[in-house]
Amino acid sequence: MADRPRRPRLRRTLLAALVTFAVAVPVSGAARPDAVPAPAPTALGPLRDASPAALEERYAVSRRDIRAAGRAADAHGDRTRAASLRAMAAPGRQFLSFDGRDGGRSVEVVGELSSARRIAVLVPGAGVGLDAYGRLRRDATALREELGGGTAVLAWLGYRSPATVSPAALTTGRADEAAPGLRALVDEVRAVRPAARISLLCHSYGSVICARSASGTAADALVLYGSPGVGAEGVAALRTGARVWAGRGGDDWIARVPHVRVRVPFVATVGFGTDPVATRFGAEVFDAGDGGHSDYLLPGSRSLTNLARIVAGAEPLGASR
């Protein structure tokens, strides 16, 4: 009997810590340096043609926009941003869209979208932006190599990613803003590649965005990994026809994040609720190996193998309901 109160006390302690963190940490933009200026990009409009010629024309326009943003970063004296943009503008890189303003937005294609039968859209979490874009490119390349031919990976940087340690990373605000853009991209890809299998691979805070865009999505699979929760109590609340998967690495610190939602007066609702790998959430759980929070797409990892199998439409190794 003496042990029975421990769980409520632990829950209250976690709630208090979460609320204190949300209130005490300054707003995420306050400590950030001024935004690096960039020119307005060329107006491209929605993706309507995935023929090789049309895509190459689009890639060339985005390459010019990236180079213009790089020159602006150089003139601003931001060598880190300028170097990242030079790498993004290298010959052979394929961007469906690019906007260097407000932290940066881009969609890069790794593989051949014009002929892809299986398409994965990578949705990154907190702490990803133009300055750290190499990590997203690395992950997209690793997944494409694991998948092989007939596939394309779209690295979607479609929102202003919050800092990893910030109140913005504890609320759905950025995800609510980002979700319509992600849904629109999936709709466009479905329209130009109607027979392709499309999967959303949603890491960390990116899983919150995917959940916000899930209702009516044209994607076939929704994969939540390294997720803090998605702001929904279960799969049914997502109102999606996509098959929903969830996984977490054995050494991922996200497992220690309290899976609660707390209304903080005059601030916001903090936290994301039910753990997506919990039985009561209702997702199909896949074996994500024993890696850490940033290790899901490491070459040779169990998580990469299983993510690629899901994208390909195969059952992941060690899957469970």
Q: What is the pLDDT along the chain (321 residues), one digit of tens a residue?
A: 444 444 454 454 445 444 444 433 433 333 343 489 999 999 999 999 999 999 999 999 999 999 999 999 999 999 999 999 999 999 999 999 999 999 899 999 999 999 999 999 999 998 889 998 999 999 999 999 999 999 999 999 999 887 766 676 677 778 889 999 999 999 999 999 999 999 999 999 999 999 999 999 999 999 999 999 998 999 999 999 999 999 999 999 999 888 877 776 766 777 778 999 999 999 999 999 999 999 999 999 999 999 999 999 999 998 555
Which pLDDT value is given to residue 31? 34
List CB contacts of 72: < 8 A, sequence separation 6 or more: 36, 37, 38, 39, 100
Q: What is the pLDDT of residue 258?
A: 84
The model's pTM is 0.88
What contacts 128, CB < 8 A, 6 or more positions away?
135, 136, 157, 161
Alpha carbon distance 87, 276 (integer Å) = 36
pLDDT of residue 266: 63
pLDDT at position 158 is: 94
Residue 8, both tokens: 């409520």
